[in-house]
Amino acid sequence: MSRARRSDNWGFPRWGGYGGTREAVTVRLCDRTGCNEKGDCPAPKSPSSPDRWYFCQKHAAEYNAGWDYFAGLDAEEAAEREKAERQTHEGYQESAHYGWAGSGDGTRSRDELRALEVLGLGTDADFDAVKKAWRSKAKEVHPDVKPGDEVAAKAFQAIQLAYEVLRAAEERREWKG
C-alpha cells in the first residue's frame, strides 16, 4: 500500500505552476463557414437524419428561423407531435415563465405569434404596428358598426384577445427593462 506523498507547497498553491498539469480542452467550432465561435448548438441536417450541424448561438438561430418542424405532416399528426413535445419539455416551459429561458427565437411566445397572425402582422412587428392594426380591424368588425352580426362579434373578440396578449407581453418587456 503506497502512502500519499506530501506536497512541498506548504499550503501555498501559488508556488506551483499555473495549470501546467491540465490537458488542453477540445472546442468544436461553429460549422458555419468563416465563423470562429464555439459550435455548441446542434441543428438537424435534415428532418429524418440523425446527423447534426453544430452552430454558435447566432448561426443556430439564423438556421432555425426557416426550419419548419411540422413540414409534411397533416393537421392531426402535427397536433400529436406538438402534444408529445409539450409533454417532454414542460420544464423548459416553466423556466421560460420565470425568465430563465425564452421562446425559440428569443423574442416572441407562441401565443404572441398567434396574436400577430390574427392581426395580420409579421413576427417582427413592433407595438405601434400592433396598435394600428388593432384599431383598423376593430373599426371594421365592431358590434356598433355591425349590430347583430355573430361572425363580426366573434372576429371582434378574437382581435381584442390578440391585442390584450400583445399588450401584456409589451408591458412585461418594458418592466424587465
Q: pLDDT (tens digit, 9 = 90+) per residue, 16-73?
A: 555 556 677 788 889 888 889 998 888 877 766 778 888 898 888 888 777 777 778 8
Q: Judge whether 115 and 165 are in contact, CB under 8 Å.
A: yes
E strand residue ranges, the chain: 41-44, 52-55
What local confidence, expressed as pLDDT, does residue 12 receive? 60
Phi and psi at 42, nearest 5°, equal: -75, 145
125 vs 100: CA distance, rounded Å: 24
- Neighbouring residues of 102: CB distance < 8 A, sequence distance ≥ 6: 96
What local confidence, expressed as pLDDT, does residue 129 receive? 92
Shared domain for 115 and 171, answered yes or no, is yes
Is residue 38 classed as helix, strand or coil in its secondary structure? strand
What local confidence, expressed as pLDDT, does residue 83 receive? 79
> What's the distance, Cα to Cα, between the start and end of the chain in Å?
62
pLDDT band at residue 155, thresholds of 50, 70 and 90? very high
Give the model confidence (pLDDT) of 88-109 as tens digits: 655 555 555 555 444 445 567 8
Shared domain for 112 and 142, answered yes or no, is yes
Shared domain for 172 and 128, answered yes or no, is yes
Shared domain for 116 and 93, answered yes or no, is no
Burial 59-74 (b: 16+ CB within 10 A, else e): bbeebeeeeeeeeeee
What local confidence, expressed as pLDDT, does residue 43 receive? 82
- Neighbouring residues of 127: CB distance < 8 A, sequence distance ≥ 6: 166, 167, 170
Q: Decide which of 131 and 7 is more confident.
A: 131
Let me know if residue 9 belongs to a domain: no
Number of domains in the chain: 3
What local confidence, expressed as pLDDT, does residue 160 receive? 93
Is residue 170 classed as helix, strand or coil in its secondary structure? helix
- Using only C-alpha atoms, the chain has a radius of gyration, in whole angstroms, of 26
What local confidence, expressed as pLDDT, does residue 1 receive? 54
User: Does residue 9 have a pLDDT over 70?
Assistant: no
Instruction: Tell me which of 82, 101, 120 is where a domain ends.
Output: 101
Give the model confidence (pLDDT) of 70-82 as tens digits: 778 888 988 887 7
Domain containing residue 51 = 26-65
Q: Judge whether 31 and 53 are in contact, CB under 8 Å.
A: yes
68 vs 29: CA distance, rounded Å: 25
